[in-house]
Amino acid sequence: MIKDTLVTSATNSSFDRFSLPDKSGRFGPYGGSFVPETLSHPLRELNDAYLQAKKDPEFQKELDQMLRNFAGRPTELYYAERLSNRLGGAKIYLKREDLLHTGAHKINNALGQALLAKRMGKKRIIAETGAGQHGIATASVCARFGFDCVIYMGAEDMRRQALNVFRMRLSGAEVRGVEAGSKTLKEAINEAMRDWVTNVRNTHYILGSALGAHPYPGMVRDFHRVIGEETKRQFVKMEGRLPDEMIACVGGGSNAIGFFFDFLEEEDVRLIGVEAGGRSLDEGEHAARFEGGKLGILQGCKTWILQNPDGQINPTHSVSAGLDYAAIGPEHAFYKDRGRIEYAHIGDAEALDAFRTLSSEEGILPALETSHGLAHGFNRAKELSKDQIICINLSGRGDKDAMEVARLMETPGIPNAKKP
């Protein structure tokens, strides 16, 4: 319906966004399924089940209902008027994924995969988590469906995110600390894959971003497409047109690809993903894969990865744990090559500044991940005129980060993190 009136450049018929990933899970040269033999069977089973569910109106109906009455969809499209006036440029709209149950977009995917697991007859769910947001969404959904739930989390992340560990346990999840390597997300994913191989008959692995081996990147994207679909409908209703620019932060890339997907053919809408610039672009100090990365394979998937010349994965840093990962989702790499999505990076200090600006101007505390998208959006808004429109995906709320922000404001050397 919207398409008839609004697709401005559907003539770009040389390429169909629905054709990706192809049958082998590739987005052009990226993606695929680089896994040991023991994992290829469960991945095939998952792919078959997903392809069937995707076509089944009953599945879509049940998911739709759960997204409404459990997660809280649709989320608002909010015009940040005071902020827009203060910056003095384009009108800024925020897509309020932060209002969802458990505080971020992650519940869209957790619900979708949990319903799929139910359909496949699985009784046990495993997941990995870094900062804890995906773990909380998964634990919450598992409580709702009555699944046994095990969350793998690096021991270092468990220490840093003690409150989130407690929240997962309150929802009945078992949180297992992983002591290997740097004791963070990468090791937690390895451990989850190991568990899956061993227990695949009764277990589904809910991966938390548009990453990993086929079918995960495409499936996770599909579960988040609702973000962009709603955004489009809401713009038609509120402004009678689409925004000029859309901006989202990119960790693995799930909130961004879900937000962008329905706009890929709208060539007049500029799409920008924002990576974590960390402390600097020196090796080990950031997570801007398109700045310092190279083509490689990590955890089942071919994509841009931060690695040294020997192929060892580099350490990464970001003030936001959710953007702090060495690989980017393969679909992003594909659209970067095509020039359809542009990528920028924002450092820790600027993200903190945006965190404070949105909090004080609008009374909305954004997640630190989201603050990277916001910072870039604020910069763009100042470049544009008052009759132009920017939409930023507010991927999550900042309650989880408030203590960390308080600590950073006391840290010398972060000039933008002054007390209010």
Q: How many residues bind ligand PLP (CB under 6 A)?
A: 19
Please select the residue that binds ligand PLP; options are 87, 115, 298, 367, rule is CB under 6 A. 367
Minimal distance in Å, beta carbon 249 to ligand PLP? Answer: 5
Give the dihedral sign, CA 218/223/229/234.
Answer: negative
3-state secondary structure of 197: helix
Q: Is 251 in the site for ligand PLP (CB under 6 A)?
A: yes
Binder of ligand PLP out of 113, 374, 396, 416 (CB under 6 A): 396
DSSP category for residue 73 = P
Closest to 251 in 3D by CA, of 273, 279, 222, 229? 273
We find the least distance from the C-beta atom of residue 212 to ligand PLP, in angstroms, to be 11
Annotated active-site residue 395? The verdict is yes
133 binds ligand PLP (CB under 6 A): yes
Encoded tokens for 8: 């401005």
DSSP 77: E
Residue 192 binds ligand PLP (CB under 6 A): no
Measured from the CB atom, the residue of 200 and 301 that comes closer to ligand PLP is: 301
Q: Can residue 222 be called a binding residue for ligand PLP (CB under 6 A)?
A: no
C-beta separation of 197 from 285 below 8 A:
no
Annotation says 19 is catalytic: no
**Which residues does 339 contact at the CB level (< 8 Å), separation at least 6?**
none
Give the DSSP H/E element, type plus range, for residue 407: helix 402-409
Rule CB under 6 A: choose which of 80, 92, 99, 104 binds ligand PLP: 104
Q: Distance (Å, rounded) from C-alpha 46 to C-alpha 326? A: 25
Catalytic residue among 33, 84, 318, 395: 395
Catalytic hit among 106, 122, 186, 302: 106
Q: Which stretch binds ligand PLP (CB under 6 A): 29-37, 150-158, 250-258, 353-361?
A: 250-258
Please state, in angstroms and rounded to a whole number, the distance separating the CA atoms of residues 192 and 176: 10
Count CB neighbours of 279 within 10 A. 16
Cα 394 to Cα 147: distance, rounded to the nearest angstrom: 30
How far, in Å, are 151, 246, 349, 351, 394 from residue 375 at the CA level? 32, 13, 10, 6, 12
Binds ligand PLP by CB under 6 A, chosen from 33, 102, 254, 307: 254
Q: Are 248 and 393 in contact, with CB atoms under 8 Å apart?
A: yes
Please give the residues from 15 up to 54 whose contact with ligand PLP meets the rule CB under 6 A.
Answer: none
- Distance in Å, CB of 186 to ligand PLP, minimum: 15
Stretch that binds ligand PLP, among 55-63, 161-169, 251-259, 357-365 (CB under 6 A): 251-259
By CB under 6 A, tell whether 127 contacts ligand PLP. no
Q: What residues does 18 pair with on adjacent strands? A: none
Residues that bind ligand PLP (CB under 6 A): 104, 106, 133, 209, 249-256, 322-323, 367, 369-370, 395-396
Catalytic residues: 106, 128, 395
